[in-house]
Structure 1
Amino acid sequence: MNNNSIQTGNSATRASGNIQGMVWILLASAVFAINFTLIRKLGAEIHAFELVFFRNLFGFLFLIPFLVRSGRQGLVPARPGLMALRGLMQTFALLFWYWALIVTPFAMAVSLSLLEPIFASIIAILVLREKSSPARWAVVIVGLAGSLIIIRPGFQAVSLGALAALGSAVFWGVFLIVGKVQTRVDSVISVVAYPTLLVVPLALIPASFVWQWPSLEQYFWLFMTGVLSSVAGLMFAKAYQVGEVTAVAPMSFSRLIFAAIVGFVFFSEIPEIWVWAGGAVIIAAGIYLGRIEARLARVV
């Protein structure tokens, strides 16, 4: 077999993996959008902090069979300190995010959440001392400018919900960076499951101040939020496992489209032109940032 045949085979394999990865990420984005709808519906009667508690309690119960099946590598984390930090970041990110989802239009909240990789890049450069470049910083600035287009400070009152979505994106950025370090030594299921478990007691603290016992029907929907969140998380992990980052990552921005659809269908929300404009800027910055980081990774 000549080199051309080998290269053709490798290219075909990569293309197939990328297509699978894009399908997985689209499915995950759709599942997340459905979950957002449940959170908004439940949030009319149950406080966001309590929703975070139940989401992670039921989510971890759903993940237990996968964790047990993974064997010692999944059951015993190599870096428990990092696991604890990841759990803490996930707690704050979800507390901010669930509250933002309940009080902010879907499309606006999701547009601002797309800043996660932008904040992750800033943290990677400043804390992990990752290689930087003028182009990388320029993309970060453009992405942050996209958030200003959405919230338009000085032109309208900045809502607490928008600030909560931004705060959530910052914590998710740290969460992503810790996960990047952690997946070098721990299994994917371990990295997903244990932080989810740690959120349960941490979220119970603020939830206890606003606690009300759910009805039987609400328990069912709370269980579904945990299951759907865990399923979507595993879908995201699968997408990046089978596909290349540069091919898969741009599809994650489909969250904005799905959020706009469910916001319109279930809550009669029509996103403002500024949300679409700012979201487009953030998406463009995120895609280009992914390409820059992929090139830097190949150099390293």
Structure 2
Amino acid sequence: MFEPRTQNPALAAALIVVATAFIAATTLMAKALGSDAFGTAMNPLQISHGRYVFAFVVISMAVGIFRPQFTPVRWRMHATRTLMGWAGVSLMFASVAFIPLADATAISFLNPVFGMVLAIPLLKESVGPIRWSAAAIALVGAMILLRPTPDSFQPAALLALGAALALGFELIIIKRLAGREAPLQILWINNLLGVVISTVAVLFVWQAPTLTQWAILAGIGVFMAIAQACFVNAMARADASFVAPFSYGTLIFAALYDALFYKVIPDAVTVLGASIIVAGAVLLAVREAQLQKRKA
């Protein structure tokens, strides 16, 4: 059993900002591994495999230190959630090898919209006009980022769109798991199953990494574990409606890292599309918070 955390919105906001910095950093490192900057370009499946392996090691150490009391595990739900998460991560890592980090990150923010749409058939939820409006706003932003013209269309952006869809499906499973199992238990099982799934997939594309590539893979796993820990602790210290807007700091850090390391400055289309997606996602988060208060 986990003791309820003392509510501390300021600390929660700081933790989320730290988490977004680490999440954007993992995407930056995946982009580097997907190029030939440190040896032969690595397949996204191998990058996601490294992410799960090293994150599992870190989280296993945390489990060994804190020794949480595990409750009965819902293996089928965990397996489905992990499969969708692995697919989303792999598609995201594949997309950033070809398009700017800011574009891929912004498109990935469609995952709560897809989660809302999928909740209709899977969770039998009703969706009102405000939530549909929020989804429509976010989708308009995505269409702008996809640049659907013959001269500017980026096919790789569809990979980020696929990542958002997979992560939206993962959100549905997380909703079902929430409150039924301890957060650290969920993280540990998620990364354990992620190691199994990604290991099977990587067998078909494995190549021996260089020493530098091993170090970057380890960094991705460690950074992701830290980001997950920050996120879980932030959610325990403040309402989700307060925390959610701070998660969009990932977009700011992604654009900053792209500018510093790849000299890619977001153009007007990226800024416009990303702003519209964030506006739609924030509206959706606010509406979800209102609905939760009514249920309470």
* Structure 1 residues 103 and 205, CA gap change in structure 2 (3 angstroms): farther
Of the candidates 20, 28, 36, which is equivalent to residue 37 of structure 1? 28
Shift of 1:72: 6.0
Of the candidates 269, 275, 279, which is equivalent to residue 264 of structure 2? 269
* Structure 1 residues 182 and 277, CA gap change in structure 2 (3 angstroms): same
Rounded to whole Å, the distance in 2 between the matches of 1:95 and 1:17 is 34
Alignment of 1:94-105 (within 5 A): 94-105=89-100
- 2:49 corresponds to which letter in structure 1? F
Are 2:280 and 1:285 equivalent residues in the alignment? yes
Shift of 1:216: 2.4
Are 2:118 and 1:123 equivalent residues in the alignment? yes
SS at match of 1:258: helix
Does the CA-based 8 Å contact 1:78-1:185 persist in structure 2? no
Rounded to whole Å, the distance in 1 between the matches of 2:96 and 2:277 is 19
Rounded to whole Å, the distance in 2 between the matches of 1:77 and 1:263 is 43
Rounded to whole Å, the distance in 2 between the matches of 1:55 and 1:217 is 15
- Residue of structure 2 in register with 1:8 after alignment: none
RMSD: 1.9
- Residue of structure 2 in register with 1:63 after alignment: 59
Rounded to whole Å, the distance in 2 between the matches of 1:240 and 1:178 is 17
- Residue of structure 2 in register with 1:239 after alignment: 234
Q: Identity of paired residues, percent?
A: 28
| 208-217 vs 24-33, which moves further | 208-217
Does the CA-based 8 Å contact 2:134-2:284 persist in structure 1? yes
Are 2:244 and 1:249 equivalent residues in the alignment? yes
> 1:125-144 CA deviation, whole Å, 9 max, x = no partner?
33212232111111111111
Rounded to whole Å, the distance in 1 between the matches of 2:274 and 2:215 is 34
Alignment of 1:142-181 (within 5 A): 142-154=137-149, 156-181=151-176
Consecutive unaligned residues of structure 2, counting only runs of 5 or more, are 36-40
> 1:151-191 CA deviation, whole Å, 9 max, x = no partner?
12135453232000010011111112211210221111121
- Residue of structure 2 in register with 1:206 after alignment: 201
- 1:149 corresponds to which letter in structure 2? I
Q: Which runs of 4+ in 1 moved over 4 A?
A: 69-72
SS at match of 2:125: coil
* Structure 1 residues 70 and 177, CA gap change in structure 2 (3 angstroms): farther
Rounded to whole Å, the distance in 2 between the matches of 1:298 and 1:40 is 40
- 1:41 corresponds to which letter in structure 2? A
Rounded to whole Å, the distance in 2 between the matches of 1:15 and 1:160 is 46
More helix by proportion, 1 or 2? Answer: 1
- Residue of structure 2 in register with 1:10 after alignment: none
TM-score (norm 2): 0.91
Does the CA-based 8 Å contact 1:179-1:191 persist in structure 2? no
Does the CA-based 8 Å contact 1:30-1:255 persist in structure 2? yes
TM-score (norm 1): 0.90
Rg: which structure is higher? 1
Rounded to whole Å, the distance in 1 between the matches of 2:255 and 2:161 is 18
Of the candidates 1, 18, 32, which is equivalent to residue 27 of structure 1? 18
Rounded to whole Å, the distance in 1 between the matches of 2:126 and 2:69 is 31
* Structure 1 residues 156 and 240, CA gap change in structure 2 (3 angstroms): farther
Rounded to whole Å, the distance in 2 between the matches of 1:72 and 1:237 is 15
Consecutive unaligned residues of structure 1, counting only runs of 5 or more, are 1-13
Does the CA-based 8 Å contact 1:33-1:258 persist in structure 2? yes
Shift of 1:43: 1.8
Shift of 1:213: 0.7
SS at match of 1:160: coil
Does the CA-based 8 Å contact 1:123-1:177 persist in structure 2? yes
